[in-house]
Amino acid sequence: MAGEIEGCVEETSCGMNLRQLRERVRQYIDNHQYESAVFWADKAVSLSNGVVEDIYWYAQALYLTGQYHRASHLLRSKKLDKTHAECRYLAARCHYECKEWQLALNIINLSDQNSNQTKIFLNKTLNQSTNMSELSMSTQNMESCINLLRGKIYEAMDNRILATDYYRMALNQDIYCFEAFDRLVAHHMLSAEEEKELLESLPFNHQCPEEERDLVKFLYENRLKKYNKPGQLDIPNQLEAFTTNLDVEVNLAERHYYNCDFIRCYNITHSVLKKDPYNSLCLPLHIAVLVELKKSNELFYLSHKLVDLYPTKPVAWFSVGCYYLLINNYEPARRYLTKATTLDRMYGPAWLAYGHSFAVDQEHDQAMAAYFTASQLMKGCHLPVLYIGLEYGLTNNSKLAERFFSQALTIAPEDPFVLHEMGVIAFQNQDYTTAEQYFLDALEKVRCVSNQITIEKWETLHNNLAHTCRKLKKYKEALEYHEYALTLCPHTPSTYSAIGYVYVLMGQSLKAVDYFHKALGIRRDDSFSTTMLQQVLDVLIAETVPFGDIPNDVPSLELVDCPSNHPKFSMSSDTDEVDMDGSSDG
């Protein structure tokens, strides 16, 4: 509608030039002087006797000043929402902003029965030089806008299936509609297979000029494949300028994160936020990696800045909640994470963290409720189903745990956390060979990404692999994995007691005693170490003969005559003392 209507009144009866007044309204809107735009748009409506274009721009200015009901009433009172697509879209958008979902949907659904009037109106808003392809593109863009809004309304109404369908339609009608694409990806509305199908179905050849085809395809592919290895990032030669693009860098950091290379992920996100301190795409990822690396001071500083600058954004309160979760203060963590989910019910990361706050307190029911909500909001992400499986495992429901771990493995087949949990289930089922294979696969993935430093998080993996080797009677390998676990967490008493137990099985009781003592030195109430130490000491006492190296018979001594003139020893007739080295004390 930004074009001019043919045959529209350009001058009023009082000689005023309406073209200049309309351009002034557009200029004020472009300059973000919305109050001025409202004032002069109202006057343009009066001077033109209510031309549709002037009414539309008046409603647009009202919308931009937050006067949503007033803008909707202006359009609907003149029944423009029933005859013109742009007016219908704007009226529905007003009610969407007011969270009146059903009313917005009712208005926007009028479009199907008024398609003829829409095309006529669009034709009038174009110059005479407009060709048919441009007209078709404009119609297509408006249909894409309407379907995008439909998708947002259905998503707000928790109908994610219909929302996904309309986002797909919007993207297919306008391949440049990044908002539809971003909602599908950022809200994890598609599985990995569905993402692949979406990319293959997009009409790049029909809608993109030849010179832009590779660009659009690369940017969308780069945004989608978060589970791919970071080394698989392939930038075409003609697009080398995008190697320093911040969106591309954040996508690379996300790949590192989902491949568990948290250090490289942090290095990239830290660099991005230095250039663009409040990058909305980077912030949730940066917060997550700060939690993984336990950088509480940096997270505290970031949280304060975000709350000061963006108190109405869920990411600010998500950051605060994660900080309290990191310092083990769970009650305020839940309070702030609840605030984040209140601001945006669809904010999946906050639901995940909210579940963690209950899981660490062994409150399994509340944790699973939060994780199930996250799984509904993040269909294409493996983390919610992974944590659901963990909770089922902790409540001794191994069959359901295995089911959710298998689902997570389908989404992220190379995630070491998922492989580790599959190994735990196999271990609990006493399938030690399968457990060993899962643990070794997980360890291989960890070693591929942790080429600089292995973080403490993998201590459990090494210990569990050692336990499995012990069950398979591979005692030497078990000791190696336990000892490596000690290098990651040197003050874990269970690792010392596990090493002691391996030495018991190897018949090296004295070494076992040393390690049980070390375990008890760290945790005095370690019942396993106490019991094993007592048993090993009993065995040692039973096996060891007291003074075993001393003969039972009293040795016989032979007396040797000592000459009186011996230079070293002499007996004095006046004393019973023995002189040493020929000297006498007497």
Q: Classify each residue of 130-163 as buried b or exposed e, where b means 16 or more C-beta atoms within 10 Å of its C-beta.
A: eeeeeeeebbeebbbbbbbbbbbbbbbeeebeeb
Distance CA 197, CA 195 (A): 5
Distance CA 356, CA 329 (A): 12
pLDDT of residue 573: 43
Upper half-sphere CA count for residue 388 (Cβ side, 13 Å): 23
What's at 98, amino acid-wise?
C
Distance CA 548, CA 24 (A): 109
DSSP state of 578: B
pLDDT of residue 260: 85
Domains and CATH numbers, the chain: 18-113+139-259 (1.25.40.10), 371-543 (1.25.40.10)
CB 392 within 8 Å of CB 408: no
Bridge partners, 11 (sequence order): 17
**Cβ contacts of residue 198 below 8 Å, gap of 6+?**
168, 171, 184, 190
Distance CA 166, CA 181 (A): 11
For the chain, give percent helix, strand, coil, nearest 5: 70, 0, 30
What's at 55, amino acid-wise?
I
Ranges of the chain with pLDDT below 70: 1-15, 111-138, 230-233, 450-454, 544-550, 552, 554-586
Indicate the SS3 state at residue 414. Answer: coil
212's tokens:
């832009």
Distance CA 208, CA 216 (A): 8
Which tens digit of pLDDT belongs to each residue from 148-196?
999 999 999 989 899 999 999 999 999 999 999 999 988 888 877 888 8
pLDDT of residue 213: 87
pTM of the model: 0.81
Bridge partners, 578 (sequence order): 571
